[in-house]
A and B are shown apart, each in its own frame.
Chain A
Amino acid sequence: MGVAIHVNNVTKAYGKNIVIQGLSAEIRPGEFFTLLGPSGCGKTTLLRMIIGFNTIEAGEIRVNDKVINNIPTNKRNMGMVFQNYAVFPHMSVRDNVAYGLKTRRIPRAERYRKADEILKLVKIDQYANRMPTQLSGGQQQRVALARAIVIEPEVLLMDEPLSNLDAKLRVEMRNVIKQIQHQIGITTVYVTHDQEEALAISDRIAVMNGGVIQQVGTPKHIYQRPANEFVSTFIGLSNLLDADCKDNTLDFGDNYRVPVTTLKDGVSGKVHVAVRPEEFIIHTDGTPGIPATVTSSVFLGMTQHYFMQLKNGKEIEVVENSDLTDIIPDGSEVSLEIMPLKVNIFDAETRATLIREGV
């Protein structure tokens, strides 16, 4: 079931402009692997190297044990779903889905049977005879997905397939994609810049920036234990606070010191503490903490958001589960306690994590 993809030290350059240098990644058999990063980070470039639309200037990509660098795209047996669907507008839905079987010289009856089967799987069999222009965006995306998986590819590649859909449909389609991927157990590489989508859909995520993989891990791990400041601020929201670290204690000034148990051995000096908005406890009764002033607040039903300013002028965001107590009025002076187990701590110089493995 599924193949492994080994990306081994690959480099991509356009002329003198090196986009990716010496990148490596291991994608496990049958896993849903997401390349996540801001635009221009090289994620689509890497995806297009895997399918063969981009040349590989150095290094190699292997599928199981086979080096695919010089195999032309149309012989790689990989299915791809494109950002703009790329459904052939002059062919019916059924002919679109059957096209990949036609290039594989499968007899007409057989390819229509298979196409109809897959159309049923993605739940658009009732539109089999329609032309693509008669379909909505979501339906076209289902055609694109059906077309990519009907050829029983070894690998399924998806390049921001949901970015052209509206928010509600995006959630619906990502569930469809995840469910179908699990059903057929195909190794999938998925590209997105939407971190929520990546968290929701992936088995593992590779966070990329500037052509470099910053961290690979499960959604939960990447969110809770980011490897560096970039990942911490790109995935979800993190408030970065300055502190001094000595003897496993964080000193925020103003007599607020917090012992931490999650640090590596021998950490001392200036650190950045990444505190997610939900990792603060707000006190209005003078309990020791980081002093802050409420500048504004937003009530979102399930949660209550506060925008605050620290003494050094830094703006931060704090979230509480909403309860029956009154909303703290703008202008109030509060003190903020942090949750020492949950927060992440980064070296102020290298911006890499100082948290021990496995906590």
Chain B
Amino acid sequence: MKKRRYSPIWTFLALLILALFVIFVVYPLILILYKSVVNPSDNSFTIENFTRFFTRKYYTNTLLNSFSVTIVSTLISATLGLVIAYITRQYKIAGSKWLNICIVVSYLSPPFIGAYAWIQLLGRNGLFTRIINGLFGIKFGGIYGFAGIVLVFSLQSFPLVYMYVSGALQNLDNSLNEAAESLGANNFQRVTGIILPLVLPTVLASSLLVFMRVFSDFGTPMLIGEGYRTFPVVLYNQFMGEVTNDSYFAAALCVIIMAITLVFFFLQRWIARRHSYAMSALKPMLPRVQRTLPKILCHVFVYLVVLVALLPQLTVIVTSFLKESTPGIFTTEFSLINYETIFSKNPRVIPNTYLFGLAAIALVVVLGVLISYLAVRRKSIITSTVDTLTMLPYIIPGSVLGICFLYAFAQPPLALTGTALIIIISLTVRRMPYTIRSSTAIISQISPSIEEAAVSLGASEVRSFGEIMLPMMMPGVISGAIMSWVTVISELSSSIMLYRASTQTLTVAVYTEVIRDCFGNAAAYSTVLTVTSVLSLLLFFKLTGRRDISV
């Protein structure tokens, strides 16, 4: 690397950011590690919490359950995402632009909303359940437990794989296809021998995201799992439960789940490093001509999957305008009563969501851009330490982060529990790794000589950053910020740990209403959330002129 002397301001900024991360990431993590191995009575070292977990079938079973639902859901998501991405890139599918938006929309809601919507449809008293039972005269008891969880997670997560793989396929130069064909490969050989290996790293990377998301999500198994307990459910109950509340044992559970995500994180990195290809297509793949029958089959398949994936959102929107006869049973009568209730009940929920979201986005963008700039262009021990630290939240499940924050910031000098600030910070920390990775990609595409040119023309380093780098990064940063916004407002797992009545957000409100069986209110809340997401998404498409996104 070219060594240069840089202005000391960058070191100052790097140290400042480092301090922030030490306080808000490292310290809470160390605290939870400490709590997991300390005996509260005499502060001595103990692994009692871990032995307690691993020797009781009750607990180890939840781990097995978690692995089964996660692995099955991840496999289904990866397959669905890969197949649909391939079909829509390789063949001409009517309305593919709208399909793409629908797929993204179906991804943009917290999984637990999918869970409660599917209960409306396929639960004990679900619409479909009643129809099926009526038609066939059977007593189908509704989709709960393993099948229900897998159904919700798979439909909710395949869009992620789809978005990543679709992007990778777009970067695949058509000449690779043509070369394979000219060398005598048939369709099957071409797909399995050329396309699949080239998109495999992307499939793995996105599958890992799915894996971590699914593995640490507790809302879905909580609602639809019934007797099927997964690990995050136990963690949540252990922490929030009224019956047992052993914070030291909860800390140990946090450490176990982080160890697991860490292993998978490195596994994915290891695989991705061994099979990664730099691709950029001069000539993207062209839609191929299909015979009629395969064409119809492809259309039916894609439309069916997308429709099923969108069903929860549609259900929620429709039911939000219906009156409930008894809690959980909707009539067919149109009404705005649900909206009246949610606006009068806790009028702060919606402003809270917007306010916390915007504050977190502002923080994430400013810090993310700075950190990636420092890590790429001002390499030093400090900046690479910061860069590594910022990846930590990537492996910390949201609920664990929430618990960490509760432990760490309960007492002065940083008594933040119950404040809006703690929620904003947790949202910022959770989103940071994604923002940094996308900013790093943006910066890497800007040649270092652009900045050198500015400096050679008399600009100071700070000035060239402000006048040249920032404006050049802006389009990418803004589109990234919109996507961050959409994910941040649908965040549940850390907010649910940290909220008070005064700091409720939409997702938390949906969850609490669902738990109380106030499905009407929940539907109205989540409709507001969905509308916000869809509008943001349309804004994103409008601003960037793109039809594909990456989260």
Contacts and interface: CB of A to CB of B under 8 A. Distances in A.
Interface of A: 14, 48, 51, 53-55, 73-80, 82-84, 86-90, 99-100, 103-104, 144, 147-148, 151, 157
21 contacts: A14-B1, A51-B456, A53-B455, A55-B3, A73-B452, A73-B455, A73-B456, A75-B458, A76-B456, A80-B452, A80-B456, A82-B449, A82-B452, A84-B447, A87-B453, A88-B454, A99-B454, A99-B457, A100-B457, A103-B458, A148-B456
Interface string B315-337: 00000000000000000000000
Given A14-B1, A55-B5, A74 B459 contact: yes
A75 B453 CA distance: 13
Contacts of A147: 453, 457
A53 B455 CA distance: 9
Contacts of B463: 103
Contact of B472 (A84, A90, A157): A90
A80 B5 CA distance: 19
Interface string B352-373: 0000000000000000000000
Nearest to A14: B3
A54 B460 CA distance: 16
B468 interface: yes
A89 B453 contact: no
A66 B379 CA distance: 31
A88 B453 contact: yes
B2 interface: yes
Instruction: Output the residue of A79, A90, A144, A147 with the most chain B CB within 10 A.
Output: A90
A70 to B, nearest CB: 9
Interface in B273-327: none
A187 to B, nearest CB: 15
B351 interface: no
A87 B450 CA distance: 7
Contacts of A83: 449
Given A86-B449, A89-B472, A147-B453, A100 B4 contact: no
B471 interface: yes
B449 to A, nearest CB: 4
Nearest to A76: B456
A73 to B, nearest CB: 5
Nearest to A150: B457
Contacts of A73: 452, 455-456
B453 A103 contact: no
A90 B459 CA distance: 16
Interface residues on B, range: 20 to 34
B164 to A, nearest CB: 27
A86 B3 contact: no
Given A53-B2, A103-B458, A80 B453 contact: yes
Nearest to A97: B457
A48 B460 CA distance: 17
A100 B3 CA distance: 24
Nearest to B468: A88
Contact of B452 (A53, A87, A89, A99): A53
B444 to A, nearest CB: 14
B457 A151 contact: yes
A56 to B, nearest CB: 11
Interface in B419-458: 447, 449-450, 452-458
Interface string B460-476: 10010000100110000
Contact of B2 (A48, A82, A99, A144): A48
The 8 closest A-B pairs by CB, nearest first: A100-B457, A103-B458, A86-B453, A86-B449, A82-B449, A80-B456, A90-B471, A103-B459
B381 to A, nearest CB: 14
Contacts of B4: 53-55
Given A48-B2, A55-B3, A82-B449, A88 B472 contact: yes
Interface string B1-13: 1111100000000
B285 to A, nearest CB: 25
Nearest to B459: A103
B3 A54 contact: yes
A74 B460 contact: yes
Instruction: Output the residue of A82, A88, A144, A157 with the most chain B CB within 10 A.
Output: A88
Contacts of B454: 88, 99, 103
B453 A151 contact: no
Nearest to B471: A90
A93 B389 CA distance: 41
A78 B455 CA distance: 10
B452 A86 contact: yes
B455 A74 contact: yes
Given A54-B4, A55-B3, A103-B463, A151 B472 contact: no
Contact of B450 (A48, A54, A88): A88
Nearest to A151: B457
Contacts of B459: 74, 99, 103
Interface in B1-47: 1-5
A95 to B, nearest CB: 10
A104 B449 contact: no
Nearest to B451: A86
Contacts of A86: 447, 449-450, 452-453
